[in-house]
Chain A
Amino acid sequence: MTSTVSSSDPGQAARSERSGGPILEVEDLTVSFPTQDGPVSAVQGLSYSVEMGKTLGIVGESGSGKSVSSMAVLGLHDAKSSTITGSIRVDGTEVVGLSEARMRKLRGNTVSMIFQDALAALHPFYKIGAQLAEAYQVHHPSASDRDARRKAIEMLDRVGIPQPDRRVDDFPHQFSGGMRQRAMIAMGLINDPSLLIADEPTTALDVTVQAQILDLLQDLQREFNSAVIIITHDLGVIAEMADDVLVMYAGRCVEYGTTKEILTHPEMPYTWGLLSSIPDVQASTDARLIPIPGNPPSLLSPPSGCSFHPRCSFTDKVPGNLCSEKLPALTPAASRVEHLKRCHLANPDAIYQAEVLPEIAPELVEENR
């Protein structure tokens, strides 16, 4: 039953034609919100692209602009209370400034989004099946209620909900947390989107369920051949899922490259901090986690120069007060072109291998105990 749906879907045919070019191109995206204390720049000068069948992971702390930038892709920000500049092209269509009517046709159809905390993101008063059917019917106006329901059951089956023909009539609160997230994913994929944005899809779930959901997302991505953006603050999720990684800090991209490259040769102290703060399963339970000192900066009055410099312990390796005076440009890493980083350090890879890696490598943690 899995193959019948996608082959009859017009989206599938259109998709095979545009193999090659990226499905999503973001260029110099800036999102700011006017507040009583002045404008807050939640995202500044962000550029990235995602190709069909690929997964981009966006990592960063709360408030780093991960969700804000991806919501801009769907045009989910209220036009009256936000200012968006730059360019977002979905499958070649410019989305910034697109009319609401045309934007609506993209949402949930070409691009769809699944949210964290599925209990809050699903309407508590409507049955799961009705919510899925609604998502289908809005983009398939000719589909009858029965067709939409059949489609909903089929999608629930595909995301691994047992007895989907019965559970389709359950309300969200009757599902377990993992099942709700599965239903959310089913809703996101019901129109066979080219791009799926998953905003912290596993945050509210326990670890075993997290793994199941991530596996499911990977399987479905392979099956649907869609591009995926996964937003998370968990580098473990990135390591498992993503082809490329974009590290965000204070609304800016600070490091961007292939996952393997970023995880093995990170060149930005913030990324080092993220890697250091991952708990090690093999390490002793007495070993302390290494946190990044300080708090994320206020976007109302961001720090001068590099946004990360107040929390960075490597500023003394940069001559003068460069870190606090000048915003580093996003430049290619030493010998690798497909890796961009925003840091003044002259030879970050050497510092990482010499100073950071020994600290987070498990065998040394064992010895230091």
Chain B
Amino acid sequence: MFAYIVKRLISGFLVVVLVSMAVFALFWYGPSKPAQAICDRETSNRCGDRIEIYQENLGYNNPIYSEYGKFVKGIFAGREITFGATTYQCDAPCLGLSYNTKQPVTEELVSRLPATASVAVGGAFLYLLFGIPIGVAAARRRGTVTDKALVSSFLFLSSIPYYLFALLTWLYLTVLWEAPFVSDVGYFSPISDGPLKWFGGLFLAWVALGIFGCTQYTRYTRGAMVEALSEDYIRTAKAKGLPARTIVYKHGLRAALVPVVTIFGIDFGILLAGTIFTERIFEIQGIGWWSLQAVGNKDLPVVAATAMFSAVMLIVSNLIVDIVYSILDPRVRLS
């Protein structure tokens, strides 16, 4: 088990290295010049020949491997970064300075984490809160009108593009229905500023994310439940004289949860990596929002940091899924 985790962490680390290299390569060999955008912005679109200074300052005139080497050194040892006349000290783990704000990327990443984590935890909670019970209910009523109505309406719901669904949620709940909870929506405030404010700021995002995401959990749960309930051990449980509730939940759902938990772990990792649409539409300035902005600004250090952060989240969540899987299913042994 321990050897397995170490092996997985090493391979995960290699993936993160590859992701960071790929992002670097895009900026060096991609079709657009990152320096041009920054130069244009800082000189009010009168960049002209000054592009050379920016190219030099940002290091784009140096070979990619030497800049990548500096970047890696910064992560482990910290480094000094010079923009024009000013030299900034960037402590380890240094992911560079944002071209846009001149702030250390690491600090900003950490400061944006609570918003994204809040969205992720609430959304994921709703996935399961709605998805599993509705899925179980549909599976128990398999083939009936209720089941068919649930399955088809959820299929319809999940066929809507998410951004449209999120926008409509926002439109209906705030503008048209003026729902009570969401009066001061749109501005994430940390939970330390009071849980009610925190709740109000996130409510819409949770509802949109949770309702949309729970549809697929309903389908997973229903499918896994239908399969589990047709297993021989369910017949055995019934032949023992167990009550229906015990058969469905203790014997059926226990088995059906394994594939659901697997998918959930990976989805939760994706949510933690930042929900771009949700954060953009509901103005929650988390990691997703930030990475979208950085791509627009050609802010290499931020793009690289958010890409690496996504990779780390996915690797960690995959690893946790595998470990949880081996706990849930005693037949699985990690090696």
Find B241's partner among A105, A117, A122, A171 (CB 8 Å cutoff). Answer: A105
The reply to whether B243 and A104 contact each other, CB–CB distance below 8 Å, is: yes
Given the complex, which residues of B lie within 8 Å of A108, measured CB to CB? Answer: 239-241
The reply to whether B239 and A112 contact each other, CB–CB distance below 8 Å, is: yes
The reply to whether A120 and B241 contact each other, CB–CB distance below 8 Å, is: no
**A94–B210 Cα gap in the complex (Å)?**
50
Indicate if B178 sits at the interface (CB-CB under 8 A).
no
Q: A117-B232, A120-B233 are in contact. Are A125 and B240 (CB under 8 A)?
A: no
The reply to whether A76 and B239 contact each other, CB–CB distance below 8 Å, is: yes
Indicate if A262 sits at the interface (CB-CB under 8 A).
no
Q: A171-B330, A171-B331, A173-B331 are in contact. Are A122 and B240 (CB under 8 A)?
A: no
Which residues in chain A, 36-79, are within 8 Å of chain B measured between CB atoms?
A: 74, 76
Binary contact readout A113-133 vs B (1 if CB under 8 angstroms, 0 otherwise): 101010011111110000000
Indicate if B238 sits at the interface (CB-CB under 8 A).
yes
Binary contact readout A275-319 vs B (1 if CB under 8 angstroms, 0 otherwise): 000000000000000000000000000000000000000000000
The reply to whether A109 and B241 contact each other, CB–CB distance below 8 Å, is: yes
Q: What is the interface residue range for chain A against chain B?
A: 20 to 34
**A65–B323 Cα gap in the complex (Å)?**
44
Which residue of A76, A124, A139, A173 has the most chain B CB atoms within 10 A of its CB atom? A124
The reply to whether B238 and A76 contact each other, CB–CB distance below 8 Å, is: yes
Closest to B331 in A: A173
Q: A115-B232, A171-B330, A171-B331 are in contact. Are A123 and B241 (CB under 8 A)?
A: no
The reply to whether B235 and A121 contact each other, CB–CB distance below 8 Å, is: yes
Tell me the minimal C-beta distance from A181 to chain B in angstroms: 13
The reply to whether A104 and B241 contact each other, CB–CB distance below 8 Å, is: yes
Indicate if A227 sits at the interface (CB-CB under 8 A).
no
Indicate if A135 sits at the interface (CB-CB under 8 A).
yes
Tell me the minimal C-beta distance from B258 to chain A in angstroms: 8
Given the complex, which residues of B lie within 8 Å of A167, measured CB to CB? Answer: none
Find B240's partner among A117, A173, A187 (CB 8 Å cutoff). Answer: A187
Indicate if A265 sits at the interface (CB-CB under 8 A).
no
Closest to B255 in A: A125
The reply to whether B237 and A115 contact each other, CB–CB distance below 8 Å, is: no
Q: A121-B232, A125-B330 are in contact. Are A138 and B255 (CB under 8 A)?
A: no
Tell me the minimal C-beta distance from B59 to chain A in angstroms: 55
The reply to whether A121 and B329 contact each other, CB–CB distance below 8 Å, is: no
Indicate if A27 sits at the interface (CB-CB under 8 A).
no
Indicate if A107 sits at the interface (CB-CB under 8 A).
yes
Given the complex, which residues of B lie within 8 Å of A159, measured CB to CB? Answer: none
Q: A124-B255, A171-B331 are in contact. Are A107 and B239 (CB under 8 A)?
A: yes
Indicate if B7 sits at the interface (CB-CB under 8 A).
no
The reply to whether B233 and A122 contact each other, CB–CB distance below 8 Å, is: yes
**A121–B234 Cα gap in the complex (Å)?**
8
The reply to whether A124 and B236 contact each other, CB–CB distance below 8 Å, is: no
Tell me the minimal C-beta distance from B335 to chain A in angstroms: 16
Given the complex, which residues of A lie within 8 Å of B235, measured CB to CB? Answer: 76, 115, 121
Which residues in chain B, 124-153, are within 8 Å of chain A measured between CB atoms?
A: none
The reply to whether B329 and A125 contact each other, CB–CB distance below 8 Å, is: yes
The reply to whether A121 and B238 contact each other, CB–CB distance below 8 Å, is: no
Given the complex, which residues of B lie within 8 Å of A121, measured CB to CB? Answer: 232-233, 235-236
Indicate if B254 sits at the interface (CB-CB under 8 A).
yes
Tell me the minimal C-beta distance from A91 to chain B in angstroms: 15
Tell me the minimal C-beta distance from B215 to chain A in angstroms: 27
The reply to whether A123 and B233 contact each other, CB–CB distance below 8 Å, is: yes
Find A134's partner among B240, B329, B331 (CB 8 Å cutoff). Answer: B240
Tell me the minimal C-beta distance from B226 to chain A in angstroms: 13
Which residues in chain B, 206-233, are within 8 Å of chain A measured between CB atoms?
A: 231-233
Q: A125-B255, A171-B331, A173-B331 are in contact. Are A74 and B239 (CB under 8 A)?
A: yes
Which residues in chain A, 133-183, are within 8 Å of chain B measured between CB atoms?
A: 134-135, 138-139, 171, 173
Indicate if B242 sits at the interface (CB-CB under 8 A).
yes
**A187–B238 Cα gap in the complex (Å)?**
13
Between-chain CB contacts (< 8 Å), 15 pairs: A104-B242, A104-B243, A107-B238, A107-B239, A108-B240, A112-B240, A115-B236, A120-B232, A122-B233, A123-B251, A124-B330, A134-B240, A138-B242, A138-B243, A138-B246
